[in-house]
Amino acid sequence: MQRSSSPEIEIDTRRADTVRRTLWYGLVVVILIWCAVIPVFDGNLSLYFAMMMWVTLATGLNFIAGFTGYMPFGYVAFYGIGAYATGIAVKVLGMSVYLAIPFAGVVGVLFGLLIAPTLRLSGIYFAIVSLSLAIICQRAIALMPEEVTGGSLGLNLGVVTVREHGYYAMLLILVAALLTASWLARSRLGKALKAIRDDAEAAEALGVNVTRSRLYAWLLATLFPALAGGTQAWFTGALDPQTAFDVLVTAKTVIYAMAGGLGTVLGPLVGTVVLVWVDELIWRAFPVLNNFLLGAIIAALILFAPRGLIGSLTRRYPRLRRYIM
């Protein structure tokens, strides 16, 4: 392909890239400071913890669903495995929780590697197998000896550290996820992934290693939910197979990411922040029909804005692409 050689366009592209990066890093710094001062001013710790966790999950999902088009409907498996790896490390192995979280991340990625052959499947078969594997994990953990996983009752970690430590750990993981997203979008790997998503055969013909690129995206996508699940177990001090492998966790992650726009860096962040607030408001106003409205929002999004908020905006106003990563 002939590259457009006009020097003005070249300079303009670079300038736009600088603008986008400055705005994005500025936003990440604002989020970092905002969330960091919440405990100091006695803010709603649980709400902000949940918000940070969902943004991390949605951003992590974006690595595989947005950049490659695979829809892992058993995404919760990594979250649950991370939670259990942390729980077992702290409770059974007596590990420090500060080591247990990275350990959970490693376990999550290893599990991702183990089931990487599922990437051979396409479309809906991948989604169904992924969902089944998550259910198998849940039942397997419930079947394990009670000394290890606590069986179907789960593990009670109790107060591991003061809550703020768990909160700040989540904040660090969130920032890492956001920076990984912007790095990926600009990296060679990210460009290769987008090329594969749009036309795998063409990308292969141009020398992109399709299998390896997808595997890298997959492993990145498995790391963050495992870290988030572990930190959630730490923060709440308890875990059980029902909630650690709840299909709703996958569903909410997918919905938040889609609401913002899969495939964009900003999308999952915006979608999650908007919908978690909406969810919270609905929950306060109509506790009974909470899930009904959530379901209605999902259906409306799919029918009327399948590309999400950011995706639809940049489609309607292409000039915004200069500012949005």
Partner 1 sequence: MNSVLLINGLIGGVVFGAIYALIGSSLNVLVGVLRIINFAHGEFILAGGFLTYVLLTYFGINPLVALPFAAVLFFAVGYVLYYLLIPRLAHSDEPETASFLLMFGVSLMIVSVLTWIFEADVRPINFSFDPINVLLYTVENGYGEGRDAKVLVPTARLVALAINALIIVALTWFFYRTLPGKAMRAAIMNREAVQIVGIDIHRLSATAFGLAASLAAVTGVLLTLVVPSIDPNGGADLTLIGFIVIALGGLGHPVGALAAGIIFGLVEQVSNVMLPQAAAQMLGFMILVAVIFFKPSGLFGLERGR
Footprint on this chain of partner 1 (rule: CB under 8 A): 69, 71, 73, 117, 121-125, 127-129, 131-133, 135-136, 139-140, 142-143, 152, 247, 251, 254-255, 258, 288-292, 294-299, 302-304, 306-307
Q: Give one word for 72, left, alpha or beta, with left for phi > 0 and alpha for psi -120 to 50.
A: beta
State the DSSP code for 318: G
| Shortest spacing between CB 170 and partner 1, in angstroms | 26
If phi over 0 gives left and psi between -120 and 50 gives alpha, with beta otherwise, what is residue 106?
A: alpha
12 alpha carbon, distance to own chain's centre: 32
Q: Which is nearer to partner 1, 152 or 236 (CB)?
A: 152
Residue pair 208/192 in contact (Cβ under 8 Å)? The answer is yes
Q: Which is nearer to partner 1, 118 or 180 (CB)?
A: 118
Nearer to partner 1, 158 or 318 (CB): 318
Looking at the DSSP bridge assignments, the partners of residue 238 are 156
Provide, rounded to whole angstroms, the least separation between the CB of residue 200 and partner 1: 14
Would you call 75 helix, strand, or coil by DSSP? coil
Contact indicator for 257, 65 with CB cutoff of 8 Å: yes
Minimum distance, C-beta of residue 260 to partner 1, in the bound complex (Å):
14
Taking the least distance from each CB to partner 1, the nearer of 106 and 195 is 195
Whole-number Å distance between alpha carbons of 105 and 56 = 13
CB of 277 to partner 1, least distance (A): 19
How far apart are alpha carbons 301 and 319 in whole angstroms? Answer: 23
With respect to partner 1, which residue has the nearer C-beta, 221 or 258? Answer: 258
Q: 121 vs 274, which CB is nearer to partner 1?
A: 121
Least distance from C-beta 247 to partner 1, angstroms?
7
73 near 84, Cβ under 8 Å? no
- Nearer Cβ to partner 1, position 277 or 292? 292
SS3 category, 156:
strand
Answer whether 197's CB lies under 8 Å from 185's CB.
no
The amino acid at 266: L
CB of 117 to partner 1, least distance (A): 8
**Least CB distance to partner 1 at residue 280 (A):** 17
Which residue, 221 or 294, is less far from partner 1 as judged by CB?
294
Task: Return d(Cα 260, Cα 14) in angstroms, integer.
Answer: 26
Task: Report the residue count for the chain.
Answer: 325
Q: How far is the CB of 15 from partner 1 (least distance, A)?
A: 30
- For partner 1, give the closer residue by CB, 65 or 101: 65
Closest by Cα among 88, 124, 112 to 244:
88
Amino acid found at 200: A
- Least Å distance, CB 292 to partner 1, is 4
User: What does the radius of gyration of the chain's CA atoms come to, in whole angstroms?
Assistant: 20
